[in-house]
Structure 1
Amino acid sequence: MVPPGLGVEEWEQMLKAINWGGPERQVTSASRSTSPGHSTFTIQDLKQSYSVGEELHATIFAKDFSGQPNVFGEVLDHQNGTYSARFILPWVGQASVAVRMIHSSEAVQALKQHRSTDSDRIYFYGFFVGKNSSGARVQEAVVCNIKWAGVVLSPTAQKNCCCEYQDARTGLTWQCHHPKTLPCDALMYHSAGGSINRMTPLEKVLMDR
Structure 2
Amino acid sequence: MRSVLDDLPKAGNFSSIESSSSGQHSVVNLEQPRAQYCVGDTLSVQVNVKDYRGNPKAHGGDFILARIHSPEIQASASGQVTDLLNGSYRVSFHLFWPGDVLVSVILMHSSEAVGILRRISAHNYDKIIYTGVFYRGKKKEQSQCGVRLKSDKPLCEYRKKEDAEYYACIPPKTLPCSTLRTMRSRNGPIPNMTKDEYYLLSRWSSSSCQTGSFFSADAISRCLKDKKLKLMGDSTVRQWQETLMKMLRGLKYVKPYDTHYFALAVDPKKNITVQWKMHGHPFVTGYNVVKDQCGYISREVDRVAVGDVVVIGVGQHFKPFPLEIFIQRLINMRKAILRLQERSPQTLVVIKLENTREFGSTMTHLSDWFGYVQNLAQRKVFRDLKVVLVDAWDMTTAANTFAIHPNSIVVSNQISLALSHLCHDA
What TM-score, normalized by structure 1, do the two folds share? Answer: 0.70
Tell me the CA shift for residue 139 of structure 1: 4.4
Which amino acid counterpart does residue 194 of structure 1 have in structure 2?
Answer: R
Which amino acid counterpart does residue 181 of structure 2 have in structure 1?
Answer: Y
Q: Deviations over 1:187-208 (max 9, x none)?
A: 422221311241431221126x
Flag the 1:160–1:57 CA change in 2: closer, same or farther, 3 A: farther
Structure 1: where are the runs of 5+ without partners?
1-7, 131-136, 148-152
Match of 1:175 in 2: 168
Q: 1:52 aligns with which of 15, 19, 39?
A: 39
SS at match of 2:96: coil
Contact 2:159 2:167 in 1 (8 A): yes
Match of 2:24 in 1: 37
Q: 2:111 aligns with which of 92, 101, 105?
A: 105
Structure 2 counterparts to residues 12-161 of structure 1, below 5 A? 15=4, 19=8, 21-23=10-12, 26-73=13-60, 77-129=83-135, 139-147=140-148, 157-158=150-151
Indicate the structure with greater strand content: 1
Larger radius of gyration: 1
Contact 2:135 2:181 in 1 (8 A): no
Flag the 1:91–1:171 CA change in 2: closer, same or farther, 3 A: same
Indicate the structure with greater helix content: 2
Flag the 1:65–1:159 CA change in 2: closer, same or farther, 3 A: farther
SS at match of 1:165: strand
Alignment partner of 1:205 is 2:192 = no
Q: Structure 2 CA distance, aligned partners of 1:117 and 1:190?
A: 25
Flag the 1:191–1:68 CA change in 2: closer, same or farther, 3 A: same
Contact 1:70 1:81 in 2 (8 A): yes
Q: Structure 2 CA distance, aligned partners of 1:179 and 1:28?
A: 44
Flag the 1:39–1:120 CA change in 2: closer, same or farther, 3 A: same
Match of 1:163 in 2: 156
What TM-score, normalized by structure 2, do the two folds share? Answer: 0.37
Q: Structure 2 CA distance, aligned partners of 1:160 and 1:48?
A: 72
Match of 2:217 in 1: none
Match of 1:194 in 2: 186
Match of 1:4 in 2: none
Flag the 1:117–1:203 CA change in 2: closer, same or farther, 3 A: farther
Tell me the CA shift for residue 99 of structure 1: 0.9
What's the C-alpha RMSD, in Å, of the aligned pairs? 3.2
Flag the 1:62–1:167 CA change in 2: closer, same or farther, 3 A: same
Q: Structure 2 CA distance, aligned partners of 1:160 and 1:58?
A: 58
Contact 2:157 2:168 in 1 (8 A): yes
Tell me the CA shift for residue 28 of structure 1: 2.0
Q: Deviations over 1:19-46 (max 9, x none)?
A: 56411xx312121110011101111111
Give the % identical residues.
Answer: 29
Tell me the CA shift for residue 62 of structure 1: 0.5
Tell me the CA shift for residue 129 of structure 1: 5.0
Q: Structure 2 CA distance, aligned partners of 1:42 and 1:74?
A: 19
Q: Structure 2 CA distance, aligned partners of 1:202 and 1:161?
A: 39
Which amino acid counterpart does residue 39 of structure 1 have in structure 2?
Answer: S
Runs of 4+ displaced beyond 6 Å: none
SS at match of 2:143: strand
Tell me the CA shift for residue 82 of structure 1: 1.0
Which amino acid counterpart does residue 167 of structure 1 have in structure 2?
Answer: K
Q: Structure 1 CA distance, aligned partners of 2:154 and 2:28?
A: 50
Q: Structure 2 CA distance, aligned partners of 1:56 and 1:161?
A: 60
Q: Structure 1 CA distance, aligned partners of 2:174 and 2:60?
A: 49
Structure 2: where are the runs of 5+ without partners?
63-81, 201-362, 364-426
SS at match of 2:50: strand
Q: Structure 2 CA distance, aligned partners of 1:180 and 1:32?
A: 51
Matched length: 179
Q: Structure 2 CA distance, aligned partners of 1:108 and 1:160?
A: 36
Flag the 1:35–1:115 CA change in 2: closer, same or farther, 3 A: same
Contact 1:53 1:89 in 2 (8 A): yes
Which amino acid counterpart does residue 102 of structure 2 have in structure 1?
Answer: S
Flag the structure with more relative contact order, 1 or 2, with Cα contacts below 8 A and sequence separation at least 6: 1
Q: Structure 2 CA distance, aligned partners of 1:44 and 1:168?
A: 54
Q: Structure 2 CA distance, aligned partners of 1:160 and 1:105?
A: 40
